[in-house]
Structure 1
């Protein structure tokens, strides 16, 4: 049975965030329904066993909250999640080592084909959006908490063309800010990363001078690198003059960049990130109507939008060869998509909750996941 048309999915995306209602009366987001906030059913109380997932480190804080909440209800279930990065998570899932993957970037055509072989039957795997968050451009500069930059300036810094903090390209956008001549140290991810893929996708589409395709692997050898979000953030914290990028929930006390969007500079926020997702269509070439993969609009000029955003997905089979595995996957992901699960993620990681409409759509898709 078809759960929703692509048009219906776009309509659901139009109410993607509870917080977005404060930004636009025309995009009113309803209060989560009783269905979306329900805890799993009595049948699910019989769940037991171990569920393994791996993937995006951006989800790490949210995942800790989801695991704790779910396991507090199901004492006989253990949920493991290895924040190895989006690329590593997809690899483990496609190899059959885990039951689901967390990923900040979409499967490519080859991975879609591999998913057909990995999953039982011939329906392959789909993306379900569970975590929406801005990516912060973070920096360590004593006495400076926020800096304005357009996309061309950010690209020039990460290309190694702008090498000091008092460069005219930065100073001209930050009148009244005392910028030192401190050398800029670029910090990027060493591992394949969905955060890197989203960051470079923004630079490729929003700037005129990046010169590289969007990729989860960093282009070039300039600067320093760390495996995973925690390592990257730690290097920025330890290095005077450093600049990097990370899920905004991990920015901490570091300085952050407000992006130029149209004629204004927009700091990151959950609401501003949701505004971009709300305006974005579903990606072409996705695996059918239940594959909720977005093509994000990085070049928007909409007031209050923050286009450097990631939508982090859970990737799962549309059919599993084991009923117990199917039940563990779908019960856990229903909890993640519920109002309770989304509120826990927002509290733990500062993410933007998905709407009640999208939660209901995801739940309906999960109800259709089959077991051989």
Structure 2
């Protein structure tokens, strides 16, 4: 059966065009520009372009995947609309797109709708994109800052209000912290980023933080809400004493301060290596090829050298039920995504899949029935 899908021939052609240009330049990309793995990778592209929708957190990674897909599968496009996780799941369960990007795995109600959309077959959650969340701050003269999960939670609960608070000072021995007022910013819109940040705070503080879900709920009267990652990042940039949680790429590109996190075994700076260790330690909570993650194994990982605040974005796909050509194209797009180059992904603010974890992802992708 062919599902009715929005092809958005004009409206979302921009992402398809992005697939044919290199990140940050206007020159055409050729096979020679791909990493060695992708050049040698053999894929059955199918005859269809691929349409997907969902999480804005993975938008920049999807631009990289779309570019590589357009090169490996000439004449096909991967068109991705960054509309948010909820809208992506709705579009997927309605049969309007081939797969959804979501910052959270399907819940039971969504899984039931997805099974119907997939012709009676289960949908799988495949964690393809990992983007660290940075705790970004604006504190002139303070180039290195250490925070713990508890101090972050207390800032957003209104219990710590000055940067020279003794709890922060203890984590930054010898640092000259100013008495500047802390101005917390948070996402005012419903956000998978907020849901994951709150899940992290709850797990890492052993329940000190009791908020949950896509709507962020700070302490009464604490902080200022802003729409989108751009909104919170630009607000920190413009506000001395500001702090926010945001996808790594945004404060990194803006040159803002990024705090190291001390989970009890020393402060850990946010790098691809330290975030990659969190991914390597991730446990699978799903069964078979449904790779739903046990978030406690990531957010509660206090091992030395691990940066645990890493958001996983799933590609939600049908295990079977696509028409044959669409199944081939979806499989090809996800295989190419799993082999995407480290340099381009890191520049875009993401952590490439560690080799052992990538094997699990590729096993699931190869199991999609065509």
TM-score by length of 1: 0.80
Distance 1:89 1:189, change over 3 A: farther
Instruction: Give the match for residue 172 of structure 1.
Output: 170
CA contact (8 A) 1:57 1:86 kept: yes
Q: Is 2:228 the counterpart of 1:228? A: yes
- CA–CA distance in structure 2, aligned partners of residues 35 and 365 of structure 1: 19
Structure 1 unaligned spans of 5+: 1-33
Task: Report what 2:323 is aligned to.
Answer: 322
Structure 1: distance between partners of 2:233 and 2:97 = 27
Which residues of structure 2 form unaligned runs of 5+? 1-35
What is the CA distance between 1:264 and its match in structure 2? 0.8
What SS does structure 2 have at the residue aligned with 1:98? Answer: coil
Tell me: higher relative CO, structure 1 or 2? Use CA pairs within 8 A at least 6 residues apart. Answer: 1
Within-5 A mapping of 1:138-217: 138-208=136-206, 210-217=208-215
Counterpart position of 2:3:
none
CA gap of 1:95–1:277, structure 2 versus 1, over 3 A, is same
Match of 1:27 in 2: none
Q: Secondary structure at the match of 2:313?
A: strand
- The aligned residue for residue 81 of structure 1 is 80
Given that residues 149 and 263 in structure 2 are in contact (C-alpha distance below 8 angstroms), is that contact kept between their aligned partners in structure 1? no
Matched pairs, number = 329
| C-alpha distance in structure 2 between counterparts of 1:35 and 1:137, whole Å | 33
Partner of 1:31: none
Q: 1:197 to 1:107 in 2, by over 3 A?
A: same
1:249 maps to which residue? Answer: 249
**Cα distance, 1:360 vs. partner?**
4.1
Q: Aligned-pair RMSD on alpha carbons?
A: 2.4
- Name the counterpart of 1:337: 338
The more displaced of 126-135 and 218-227 is 218-227
The residue correspondences of 1:213-292 to structure 2 (distance < 5 A) are 213-220=211-218, 222-252=222-252, 253-283=255-285, 286=286, 288-292=287-291
Q: Deviations over 1:306-354 (max 9, x none)?
A: 121122221111123422322221111110012xx14354343243322
- The change in CA–CA distance for 1:94 and 1:184 in structure 2 (over 3 A counts) is farther
Q: Distance in 2 between matches of 1:263 and 1:48?
A: 50
- The structural deviation recorded for 1:55 is 2.1
SS class of match (1:89): helix
Q: Deviations over 1:247-276 (max 9, x none)?
A: 222222111111112231111122222222
TM-score, structure 2 as length reference: 0.80
> What is the deviation of 1:208?
4.9
More divergent stretch after superposition (68-77 vs 132-141): 68-77
1:25 paired residue number: none
1:196-221, Cα deviation, whole Å (9 max, x unpaired): 22211111011156442432221247
How far did residue 83 of structure 1 move?
2.1
Q: 1:188 to 1:37 in 2, by over 3 A?
A: farther
Instruction: Measure the CA separation in 2 of the matches of 1:266 and 1:177.
Output: 17
Closer, same or farther: CA 219–52 of 1 in aligned 2, 3 Å: same
Show CA shifts across 1:13-35 (max 9, x none). xxxxxxxxxxxxxxxxxxxxx98
